[in-house]
Structure 1
Amino acid sequence: MQEFFAGLAEIIEIDVEQVSPELKLADFAWDSLAVVSTIALIDDVFNVMVDGQSLNKCDTVADIVALINTKKKV
């Protein structure tokens, strides 16, 4: 998960120490480019494909982790 948090921090342009499950994505640079970059990051780190529509509905990092875990089980 640390690799994912580091990649996400880079995408939304914050320090990795700021990334936590409670982090609200809307408070940072969470735009369409960030969503696309996060899709690629999830694929790279977890070998899981998520769609942009589902990822765009995520409000927090915990929501993204839950989405990844749901996709892993499919």
Structure 2
Amino acid sequence: MQEFFNGMADILEIDADKIGPQLNLGDYAWDSLAIISTIALVDDLFDQMLDGQALAQCVTMADVLALITVKA
């Protein structure tokens, strides 16, 4: 999961230590480019395609994490 957090830090252009479930995405660069980049990141790391509209509705990092189902 740390690789995902590092990727999200790059996408949001913030330090990785700020990434956590309570992070408010609206406080950072959570725009259409970030959403597309997040879809690509999740696809690359978890082999899962997220719905862009659902992702756009996310307010916190916890909301994003709830969309990701890690396959066992």
Band the TM-score falls in, shorter-chain normalisation: over 0.9
User: Under a length normalisation based on structure 1, what TM-score does the superposition of the two structures give?
Assistant: 0.91
| Per-residue deviation, residues 17-48 of structure 1 (Å, max 9, x unmatched) | 00000000000000000000000000001111
Shift of 1:56: 0.4
Q: Distance in 2 between matches of 1:5 and 1:12?
A: 10
Shift of 1:53: 0.2
Q: Which residue of 1 aligns with 2:54?
A: 54
Matched residue count: 71
Q: Any idea what SS the aligned residue of 1:14 has?
A: coil
Q: Which residue of 2 aligns with 1:35?
A: 35
Shift of 1:50: 0.6
What CA RMSD, in Å, does the superposition of the two structures yield over aligned residues?
1.1
Output the amino acid matched with 1:48: Q
User: Under a length normalisation based on structure 2, what TM-score does the superposition of the two structures give?
Assistant: 0.94
Higher helix share: 1
Output the amino acid matched with 2:48: V
Structure 1: runs of 5 or more not aligned = none
Shift of 1:51: 1.3
Output the amino acid matched with 1:44: D
Kindly indicate whether residue 19 of structure 2 is the aligned counterpart of residue 19 of structure 1.
Answer: yes
